[in-house]
Structure 1
Amino acid sequence: GRGAVYNASSSLVRPELVEIKNTIRNLKKDAEMRLTLDVEAQQSFEFLSEQVHGLRKAFSTLSEVLVEEVDLIRSEATERHEDTQQRLEQQAKALKAARTELTLLRSETQTGRAALQ
């Protein structure tokens, strides 16, 4: 009778052992998968970090170039403005001189006419 009891108990234990083995195997698989995922996540993070760093550098360079361009345009515009101002002043002087000359000519003509009459 004792053998039958032992067999019964061992047949009860065996499925539990099998279940424990399976559980352990699954846990190992899960752990390996997690490790793989962690490694992949780390690689992705490093890749993205490099991309972000590259973009930052590119934007920095771009903004420097833009600032230089704007400064150049500003200085050219200032120069052009100053040139225009000078030209306007010269034209104003020339106009004033022409007016003065015209006034003198008028008065001379009037004086001449008066002398002729």
Structure 2
Amino acid sequence: MSKRILVVDDSAFQRTVVRDALEDEFEVVAEAENGEEAVAMFEEHAPDGISMDIVMPEMTGIEATATIKKRSPGTTVVMCTSVDQEEKMMEAVKAGADGYVTKPVDGTKLLEEFNTHLG
């Protein structure tokens, strides 16, 4: 059975890029456009991994990651961030992020991150 992934980004285009990169090797079970939706979709679908944007409305990816990791420490979270957000990336690691890729998202690097952490 393939691992299940939740894709979270406030940009519909970025969600499509991430989905296209992952769906050959993983089952993309849901998408969310902000951190609050991410937590709700996590509760509903119990994915093995999450591709998480950092800067989003309603609730940031860092806040959503912290909430999800408290509930399920074993869930893999890979952050997708702009290269100029190094400080935010450090916050994300403290919140429990397992890895990250920079935008624009390179599908090969994203797959490598998930394969490294999901096995």
Shorter-chain TM-score above 0.5:
no
What TM-score, normalized to structure 2? 0.13
What TM-score, normalized to structure 1? 0.13
More strand by share: 2
Of structures 1 and 2, the one scoring higher in RCO (CA 8 A, sep 6+) is 2
Instruction: Find the structure with the greater CA-based Rg.
Output: 1
